[in-house]
Amino acid sequence: MIRSVFYYVGVEKMDEKRLQKIFRKSTKNSECIGTQEGYTVEYKQNFGWGSMPEYVRAMAAMANNRGGHIIFGIKDKPHEMIGLKEKSLIKFEERDLSVWSSYVREHFEPAIEFERDIYEFEGNKYGIIEVQEATTKPVICKKYVEEKLKIGAIYYRYKAENTEIQYAELRSILDEETKKINSLWMDKIRQISMAGVSNTMILNTSSGKLYGERNSFYIGSELLDQIRFVDRGKFVETDGEPVLSIVGEVKKTEETPISVTIGEKEVALSNNRIIESFLFQEKISNSAEYMKYIMNSQAKNLPIFYYLKNLPGDYIEHIVGYSSSKEHVETRIKQSLYGEKLKDTGTIAYKKKLKMQEAVLNQDNTVLSVSEDDLKYLFCAIRTVDPKTILQNRDFYILLLRNIYEDKYQNMKQSTSAEFKKAICYIDEILNKQNYLEKI
């Protein structure tokens, strides 16, 4: 497997098991691929940038259905496995990630999650575009390309075809989106019910105005900048509707114009605040409030053991929160979810991770200046460092992540910030988990 991996909008790693199932020889003709084109697979013989409108149309069609793979290097009828020739292979690889991403964003909305890769099978190299099913549907075309794309068109992947969507499929998508929105409203109502209506305020993050039962306030720009948008019912680093709910009473303090009181602690609890308290190793007097927030935020990748170590061993059994969040915390207590082993795949991604691993093992601070695209390799490399090394050099790893947070976090892409938070969770697990387990 030769990997040349590029991520866009938080996509997970490419499904290699699925590729192995696709790349099998036909029992009728060993020169041909055994998997036929269908709802999730499309074949192309060559790759050329001039055909990008055709490719992004297929990507949008797959995103509006179940996702899928566009594979370059397969002949059209019969589907002979010839691989990409040198010129096509170079064209497929040479374009920078930002060019691909910009082209997709320019022609379609909402964002399409995809990964570009090179797959090697029996000496031939194939270009792969793996498309994820869209989390928000429908994906709609917003730019005209003659005979290829129409403004306002919704493309849908039918069996081996990328055509404009039919009524039945569009109706199904709209009904499903309505269900999701209703579910999000129910989640918000449940949060408000848990806190009490009189203790709940609504913050407009565009104006900074905080609406309450008795009064309205304006939040200062410093605090407002720290608050992330709410998207799909979760606190994530992406664009979202400019309204979110903050639970608690609002009053002035000496440190900031306005803070949110949760329990007895005057602090604006948010995903960022949870991360900051860990990275700056703050002395936490009310760890229970932090864990309550984590259990009700639906965010998966947040440090937990830094707060759990100060709580009773049976604390999790009695806390009320989202069932999925509670199950995830319980799973993290039972097993390690974030450690990785660096496998020699001979790919570009492996080489970059290895370089980053060597740098952090040597405590080389030049990693602070790596590019945005290489940051995710740095975060993956941190998760390959053995626990003993981290325990012996805890200050270096905490300071490294803290400096990255201060300098780069606000501008990270969602996929990069996701890897960053996984690295934080791994360090938290190594440094603090044992202290909590000793109480159980």
**Residue of 198 and 126 predicted with greater confidence:** 126
pTM here?
A: 0.48
Per-residue b or e along 103-123, where b marks 16 or more CB atoms closer than 10 Å to that residue's CB: bbeebbebbbbbbbbbbebee
Cis status, amide bond into 387, omega within 30 of 0: no
Q: What is the pLDDT of residues 38-86, one digit of tens each?
A: 999 999 999 999 999 999 999 999 999 999 999 999 998 899 999 999 9
* Span 16-165 CATH architecture: 2-Layer Sandwich (3.30)
Angstrom distance (rounded) from CA 436 to CA 311:
8
Q: Is the peptide bond before 242 cis (omega within 30 degrees of 0)?
A: no
pLDDT at residue 15, as a whole number: 72
Are 142 and 112 in contact by the 8 Å Cβ rule? The answer is no
Q: What is the pLDDT of residues 244-290, one digit of tens each?
A: 444 444 444 333 333 334 334 344 577 888 999 899 998 887 888 88
Q: In the chain, pLDDT over 70 holds for what percent of residues?
A: 79
Please give the Cα distance from 342 to 383 (Å, whole number).
9
For residue range 106-125, list pLDDT tens digits in order.
999 998 989 898 999 999 99
**Mean of the per-residue pLDDT values of the chain:** 81
Q: What is the pLDDT of residue 36?
A: 92
Phi, psi at residue 32, to the nearest 5°?
-105, 155
